[in-house]
Amino acid sequence: MSFVANFSAILIKTMRLPKLNKLFEVMEIRGVKVFAHWSVLLIGAVMLIGALEEPLLAVTVLTAYYSVILIHECGHMIAAQRKGCRVWSIE
């Protein structure tokens, strides 16, 4: 192995990237914990910025956004449970 390849491999192993996989527990549905990724919460915060001009519209859009994501993920949960799989969490 050449010096450059060896040095690159060592450098990549020692570099620590920030963890961007942080999840926040938001609720529990029928014993299954529901977690939200930080980016979903960030998108919601950006949507709320629109509340300055149109508060009712911003809250409606935000509710619809989170509802569609939750319904979609619950569909995965129901499908898994029907197949006999144990579901521990929705992430």
Section 8-18 average pLDDT: 53
For residues 31 and 86, is the Cβ–Cβ distance under 8 A? no
Give φ, ψ of 36 to 5 degrees: -120, 140
Structural domain harbouring 25? 19-90
Assigned domain for 2 exists = no
Each residue's pLDDT tens digit, 39-51: 888 888 888 887 7
Is the per-residue pLDDT at 58 higher than 60?
A: yes
Is 9 inside a domain boundary?
no
Give the pLDDT confidence score for residue 79 in this predicted structure. Answer: 94
Q: Looking at the predicted structure, is the pLDDT value of residue 32 above 60?
A: yes
User: How many domains does the chain contain in total?
Assistant: 1
